[in-house]
Amino acid sequence: MNFIPMIPDHLDQVMIIENECFPSSPWPRRFFEEELSLVGRAFFFVALESENVVGYGGYCLVDDEMHITNIAVKNGVRRRGIGRKLTELLIEDGLQRGVKAAHLEVRRSNLAAQGLYRALGFKQVGMRPGYYQQEKEDAILMSADL
């Protein structure tokens, strides 16, 4: 397994995983393209297995804080530590850029992701009722001091 910075060539495979993981609210391809063009402000990585993208994650940098915007692992290779490794990689990268805290939002029903983030030291710090408008689902806000 290799973890390397995401490049536009990865986006065909990333979009397949994005649509599979977030069927009701996938990021459109142009969001990823925009993030990849924000040099020095947004940072994305992919997990590669035999040259195939099996997961990805990204964050944006705001002053000395990082906002984790995406973590996704292809169905079929979950529970093998890829999500944990991707999240640790983002945090490591953020730390090298002087980040002091990490923030993210996660659906109330997404217990897998909440389990992952808790295992890495994130704590619930708030809630946004009905944040995910399509299903009127609450977002749990989680943060970690780094």
Ligand X SMILES: CC(C)(COP(=O)(O)OP(=O)(O)OC[C@H]1O[C@@H](n2cnc3c(N)ncnc32)[C@H](O)[C@@H]1OP(=O)(O)O)[C@@H](O)C(=O)NCCC(=O)NCCS
Using rule CB under 6 A, residue 46 touches ligand X: no
Strand order in the sheet with 137-145: 2-5, 42-49, 52-62, 65-73, 101-107, 137-145, 123-132
Residue 70 or 99: the one with the smaller Cβ distance to ligand X is: 70
Our finding on whether 1 is near ligand X (CB under 6 A) is no
Q: In Å, how far from its chain's centre is CA 4?
A: 14
Are 72 and 18 within 8 A, CB to CB? yes
In the chain, DSSP assigns E strands to 2-5, 42-49, 52-62, 65-73, 101-107, 123-132, 137-145
Stretch of 34-42, 80-88, 90-98, 122-130 lying at the interface with ligand X (CB under 6 A) = 80-88
117 is catalytic: yes
| Min separation Cβ 87 and ligand X, Å | 8
Whether the Cβ atoms of residue 8 and residue 36 lie closer than 8 Å to each other: yes
Give catalytic status of residue 105 as yes or no.
Answer: yes
In sequence order, which residues have a C-beta less than 8 Å from that of residue 129 and are 6 or more positions away? Answer: 138
Catalytic entry in 18, 35, 117, 137: 117
Q: Which of 18, 35, 105, 137 is catalytic?
A: 105
Q: Which residue is nearest to ligand X (CB)?
A: 83
- Hey, what are 63's tokens? 């002053």
Does the protein bind ligand X through residue 142 (CB under 6 A)?
A: no
Residue 42 near ligand X by CB under 6 A: no
Show the site string, 98-127: x = touches ligand X by CB under 6 A, - = not.
--------x---xxxx-xx--x--------
Q: How far apart are CA 64 and CA 55, in angstroms?
A: 26
The contact set with ligand X (CB under 6 A) reads 21, 71-73, 78-84, 106, 110-113, 115-116, 119
Q: Which residues are catalytic?
A: 105, 117
